[in-house]
């Protein structure tokens, strides 16, 4: 067994210590979210919640969660968000995969120009107000048009295009000689060989849809709005009751805020570890072209 010298031992110890501290720093906000959501009104108002739940005065409370779960609009917004995340990701991936495959081919007519126009949209945009009026003129005021309007992302298409460009041409030539069509090349060669990059781009799209707020708030009606818009609207209502209306709540407005945040991040916490293994490989391979 190779014996480590003193400098290597010191480096390893420092590396493990720093990584442990970094992991704890990343974990602390999640622990605080849960603790603040069940702490008492006195503990929250006096700033006595640091890490663990504090029930000083009234004891621990789950009234904020009861209030959230009893609201039918919460479940409607949650279902809307799941709908946008699932179907929005599917539509976006169909566009990204087919577009990236076509743009990765040197035989594509005017391919260089299309690639330039795609990259150009990452540098320059019309701006918020023109984009808003463009969406309104196209009738983007319902869930289906909302999914289509936000189904395009130049960066993700370029990421997949770079990965597809790195697939061996010899494999494609062999499949073509055997009579494979373009559709067969995509579905039987490129997609199976690009699972890491595809999973990474799908995660980008899913998180973007789950966290969508601005355009949903501006374009969609109340019945079609996602969870993030519901959270903002509910927090405004709770704060107004507590500060202006003089209503005595059984929970702190901040506890309601943290309870809503806990509910909104649970699916991400559950799903992300399952696809995290694809993340580094997908970004590194798809972002570098030899």
- Please write the tens of the pLDDT for every residue from 198-217: 888 888 898 889 888 888 98
CATH 1.10.3720.10 residue window(s) in the chain: 65-286
Q: From 1.10.3720.10, 1.10.540.10, 3.30.365.10, 3.40.50.20, which CATH number describes the 65-286 domain?
A: 1.10.3720.10
Query: For each of the chain's 290 residues, which pLDDT tens digit applies?
Result: 556 677 888 888 899 999 999 988 888 888 888 888 888 877 777 777 887 887 776 677 888 888 888 888 889 999 999 999 999 999 999 999 999 998 888 888 888 888 888 888 888 877 888 888 888 888 888 889 999 988 888 888 988 888 888 887 888 888 888 888 888 888 888 888 888 888 888 888 988 898 888 889 888 888 888 988 988 888 887 777 666 655 566 777 778 888 888 888 888 788 777 766 666 555 555 444 44
Helix-helix angle 253-286:6-38, to 10 degrees: 140
Distance CA(122)–CA(40), nearest Å, equals 47
What's the predicted TM-score (pTM) here? 0.80
The CB-side HSE value for 122 (13 A sphere, CA atoms) comes to: 11
Helix (H) or strand (E) holding 265: helix 253-286
> Could you give the CA distance from residue 116 to residue 110 in angstroms, rounded to a whole number?
10
Question: Quick one: tokens of 284?
Answer: 């590194």
pLDDT at 80: 93
Q: Are 97 and 160 in contact (CB under 8 A)?
A: yes
SS3 30: helix
Cβ contacts of 234 within 8 Å, gap of 6 or more:
71, 74, 256, 260
Measure Cα distances from 174 to 33, 164, 178, 183, 272 in Å. Answer: 55, 16, 6, 15, 37
Q: What is the pLDDT of residue 16?
A: 93
């Amino acid at each position: 067994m190779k014996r480590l010298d003193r400098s290597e031992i010191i480096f390893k110890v420092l590396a493990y210590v720093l990584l442990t501290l970094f992991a704890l720093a990343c974990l602390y906000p999640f622990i605080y979210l849960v603790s603040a959501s069940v702490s008492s009104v006195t503990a929250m108002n006096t700033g006595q919640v640091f890490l663990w739940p504090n029930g000083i005065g009234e004891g621990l409370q789950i009234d904020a969660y009861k209030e959230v779960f009893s609201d039918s609009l919460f479940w409607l917004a949650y279902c809307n968000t799941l709908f946008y995340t699932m179907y929005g990701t599917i539509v976006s991936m169909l566009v990204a995969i087919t577009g990236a495959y076509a743009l990765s081919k040197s035989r594509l007519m005017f391919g260089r120009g299309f690639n330039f126009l795609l990259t150009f949209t990452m540098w320059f945009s019309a701006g918020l107000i023109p984009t808003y009026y463009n969406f309104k003129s196209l009738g983007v005021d319902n869930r289906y048009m909302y999914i289509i309007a936000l189904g395009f992302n130049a960066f993700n298409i370029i990421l997949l295009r770079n990965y597809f460009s790195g697939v061996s041409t010899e494999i494609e030539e062999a499949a073509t000689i055997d009579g494979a069509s373009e559709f067969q090349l995509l579905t039987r060669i490129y997609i199976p060989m690009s699972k890491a990059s595809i999973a990474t781009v799908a995660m980008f799209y899913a998180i973007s849809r789950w966290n969508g707020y601005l355009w949903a708030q501006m374009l969609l009606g109340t019945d079609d709005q996602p969870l993030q818009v519901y959270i903002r609207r509910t927090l405004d209502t709770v704060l107004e009751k507590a500060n202006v209306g003089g209503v005595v709540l059984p929970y702190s407005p901040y506890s309601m805020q943290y309870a809503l945040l806990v509910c909104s991040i649970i699916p991400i916490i559950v799903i992300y570890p399952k696809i995290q293994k694809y993340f580094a490989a997908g970004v590194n391979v798809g972002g570098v072209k030899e």
